Amino acid sequence: KLIKYIAMQLLLLVVIIYARLVLYTSKRQIDNLHYIQKAKASKKNIIFAGWHGRLLMMPLLVNKSYRNKYSSAIVSSHADALILSKFLRSMQMNIIQGSTNENNIGALYRTLKIMKKPDNSLCVTVDGPRGPLLKVNSAIIEIAKYSDAIIVPVTCSFSRAKFLRCW
């Protein structure tokens, strides 16, 4: 167990260093920033919606200046999502465990409970790990509807990118 723990901590460190290195050495262009500013000015909660294959960069793109005071992310409770949960926690984000395939009612309940409180942001992937790829799952619409939150789509693109095969 100690070796597994050390390996996970090293992997987390590598992921954090890699993500920050990519972010800080890349030329960034933020389009439609006024939508994020308008959402923040409305004092409503914000749901940042992104694609599953671009998940790693979402908490860095949606940095503290764009998020509300409290930020959460919905993450699967599978063992392979453990490193992602730790990475998001290192970005000062709360974790809501569950997905549309597992513990979906519990995750939806916890999400709505959090999003009913003021000054919250939620980062969520809208196409889930099982697909279909780049097709929006209706759960985000329900969360926004019942929590009166604003959905702000976010994504990133890199000219020389390597994508992990999720499907």
Highest mean pLDDT among 38-47, 80-89, 101-110, 153-162: 38-47
Region 131-152: mean pLDDT is: 86
Inter-residue contact 166 to 53 (CB < 8 Å): yes
Q: What percent of the chain has pLDDT over 70?
A: 81
What's the whole-number average pLDDT of the chain?
Answer: 80
pLDDT given for residue 145 in this prediction: 93
Q: Is pLDDT of 135 > 80?
A: yes
Closest CA to 9 of 64, 87, 97, 110: 87
- What token pair was written down for 5? 């723990």
Inter-residue contact 73 to 52 (CB < 8 Å): no
